[in-house]
Structure 1
């Protein structure tokens, strides 16, 4: 399984400078650190999905001595590994450019990424469309751009619920959010495995 994770990085080694350039672009444009951490995390996992779709890599992978469970698991475990790598690189770039950020920014940015990955990964396994990666990426950017405003509007309309949530301590809120996101990611993992094991290549 480790070789499958390393494969994704090797395939994209020529594009790593492009990824770094995109991170620097967002930093120079003074985008919010949460957005920068979220976008930085999405590059390698979602570009890998796009590459596999174009090259029909699943046909090759299923001819190799890997079980379908290992193939799907490598995607989900690899995503977490690349997210941690993105945190390190993005943090270093923010420090170099003397931009302030907090641990909360890292947590919130990557929580959004994991939640989005949990929703989108099963779609990649279920639907085989040439433009699926582009659709998912554009949807992600739209949600990132307009999501905070929508959440703020809903929070105003449902102030009672909002007040009850924010009456909890910060550690409790983080713990609840972490459990919800981990559960969503594990459920997504199971759904993707269920779909992939029944696909014909």
Structure 2
């Protein structure tokens, strides 16, 4: 299974420079929230990995290897976590070098959102017709980036009691709760995706 994650990294090694330059572009612009930049960096590689695997011949090859379908899906979900960690580290270095302020909160928010988005995207990528999952991911990301901040702001202004409750929570409890919720959603998505992939015919 670790070899499958390694394979994903090797396949994309020529594109890594392009990914880094894209993140660097947003860092140098200085107009975007640090959490948005971390989120963008976190989901690029996992989404691109799925784009490679959309080809029927790729899945036929994967299924001819000595790995079960459960292990193939496990490599996708574990690989996504590995890539999120590496992307967050690389982005942190870039932001530090170019004196762009960020906080642990930015990283926590972006990582949680990345896991949430991937929890929705990974099972959908095995349902949607091959070739359409990447445009779906791009459009969904742009839509969410455009509508989520205003919605959160609106709800924060209207639901003041909920906002006050969350703000008054100890930081440790808040992050622990968010982490447990993220793990639950990600684990559920993992299980659903495994069931979908087991039944898929190539």
TM norm structure 1: 0.95
Q: How far apart in 2 are the matches of 1:102 and 1:162?
A: 20
Moved more, 173-182 or 129-138: 129-138
Secondary structure in 1 aligned to 2:55?
Answer: helix
Displacement of 1:159 in angstroms is 2.2
Partner of 2:23 in structure 1? Answer: 23
Distance 1:147 1:69, change over 3 A: same
Partner of 1:93 in structure 2? Answer: 94
Displacement of 1:68 in angstroms is 0.4
- Does 2:150 correspond to 1:149? yes
Displacement of 1:51 in angstroms is 1.3
Displacement of 1:119 in angstroms is 1.2
1:33-112 to 2 correspondences below 5 Å = 33-54=34-55, 56-112=57-113
TM norm structure 2: 0.95
Displacement of 1:123 in angstroms is 0.4
Partner of 2:6 in structure 1? Answer: 6
Displacement of 1:108 in angstroms is 0.9
Secondary structure in 2 aligned to 1:62?
Answer: helix
- Does 2:116 correspond to 1:115? yes
Secondary structure in 2 aligned to 1:123?
Answer: helix
Contact 2:55 2:130 in 1 (8 A): no
1:164-175 to 2 correspondences below 5 Å = 164-175=165-176
1:97-140 superposed Cα distances (whole Å, 9 cap, x missing partner) = 11111111111111110111011111012222322211112211
1:45-98 superposed Cα distances (whole Å, 9 cap, x missing partner) = 100111111364111111111100110000000001111110111011111111
Q: How far apart in 2 are the matches of 1:140 and 1:163?
A: 29
Q: How far apart in 1 are the matches of 2:42 and 2:13?
A: 16
Gaps of 5+ in 2: none
Distance 1:151 1:56, change over 3 A: farther
Q: How far apart in 2 are the matches of 1:160 and 1:95?
A: 36
How many aligned residue pairs are there? 201
Gaps of 5+ in 1: none
